[in-house]
Structure 1
Amino acid sequence: MYSFLTTGNWPDYELIDSGNFEKLERFGKHVLARPEPQAIWDPHLPASEWQRANATFTREKGSQEKGQWKIKPGTPEQWIINYGQDGLKLRFRLGMSSFKHVGLFPEQDPNWQFIYQQTKQRKAAVPRVLNLFAYTGAATLAARAAGADVTHLDSVKQVNFWARDNMEASNLDGVRWLVEDAMKYVQREVKRGNKYQGLILDPPAYGRGPNGEKWQLEDELNEMLKLCQQLLDPQDHFFLINLYSLGFSALILDNLVTEIFPKTHTTREIGEIYLHDRGQRKLPLGTFCRFAT
């Protein structure tokens, strides 16, 4: 089933406007303006509204990601926001990085709900969940809040520290933190015969492991999914993958999942994730596939 996912009613987050390759967002009390390559239309709001942002990110010349923030006086460089939907309550520390990111992808709200609900539905008394390319840990915390034994893996040590801060802010504990190359770790887990009731992947288009290992999405994804298939508990599992890479159609995920994963799951969704602004434009922010037994 081809689906479109978007956020629910979340008091501490709003996509206010989008256009001219930028987006205007509110995180808690603070409004940020930052680049968004897929917002090719005109903004709805006048420039004066955008100029009221607490912080604006400007790219370095010749760079798609790196740049710097122009922060208005009185605006903190870090702050906490709350998240609460359908019984899942979390807190996240946000901060303005030199790569335009703030430590959270709000469009993943429906997937956090999926992880939380699916973890609670597992037959295992304590479901084992592996979160790969786990970033600052929102998906990790959704699984942990539902009672899972969670392994959180990311190749960047500082990002794992940030995720730990989010765990503590959310009054959770007990997550296993790993600074590892995802492919090498999954290969070892397959050899060890380990099984998981939940697998979450959020791979970048390009990245490096802690020892310089190269990750290129189009080169590595097929093999990674084959290994993940071997790690899933055949009778009791959920699976979720997100892709942010421009040009990676949901149909690519459909083909991969159909070929690699046996049809033991009773539900499967595949499609796009988006945010809607006040003008009701739908800003696409990646593709996903998720299924469960």
Structure 2
Amino acid sequence: MSDTLAIVGAGAKAVAVAAKAAVLRELGVEVPDVVAVERSGVAANWRAGGGWTDGRQRLGTSPEKDIGFPYRSALVPGTEVDERMMRFSWQSYLIATDQFVSWVDRGRPAPTHETWAGYLRWVAAVVGLKVVDGEVVRISVDDARWVLHTRGSSLSAGTLMVTGPGQPDRSMLSGDPRVLSIAQFWQRAGQHERIVADNVAVIGGGETAASILNELFHHRVSAITAISPQATLFTRGEGFFENSLFSDPAGWRSLSQAERRDCIARTDRGVFSARVQESLLADERIT
């Protein structure tokens, strides 16, 4: 009898795990039942209203790095696992929704966050991801099992996975209308409520800050200051050697904790995508 893997959040990680579990189950491998506990819906953080975007921003990485990437399974039979995972690839989604030809003809552009959410929701529906509606308010242990508590129910599981980027509604000065949280900013942007100001400061050096800066270019602001915890605004490393760290799990396991954190800082956290950096360079309002 299979156990349950409970995942907090129904985003890209939960969808990817559910897809891999579905494929392995088809091949006769015993895998746990994957159940996600989500308060806002599958891929909510990629959509307007999720607090992290207005849905119109572009994905910072290549969409080919989808839920099955890098398609190099070490499980037996590995090749068959990868072939079956291709059914849930980005290209398969575009073909299923009659968007593939247009995407190729347009030069394979980075999809918007809303489009990416559509892809994740499509995969979740195809593989039958089980989702418990509700916000996890407490996690406890009962007889060596995890118990996830929402306000209306509880879920017992043998294994627990916690996902998600954090809390977009947090603000350093929540009572000051001039200081916006991430969620408040995107709510205004989604309602086409333009910010009018002489000077605007954005605190942060990662892709969330980059998306906000990119959006501010369309608002009536005279000067934009980026306040980063680092010495400058770094561009995400997208060379072969940086990318291979994420594509080769064997190499990743050989790195120390300090080396892993350093790699993540240079390639994921605290960096802007190359596309956004080019936009910043073209606008003289930002410093």
The structure number with the bigger radius of gyration is 2
TM surpasses 0.5: no
Higher helix proportion, which one?
Answer: 2
Which of the pair has the greater relative contact order for Cα pairs under 8 Å at 6+ separation? 2
TM-score, with length taken from structure 2: 0.31
Q: Compare the two structures and name the one with the higher strand fraction.
A: 1
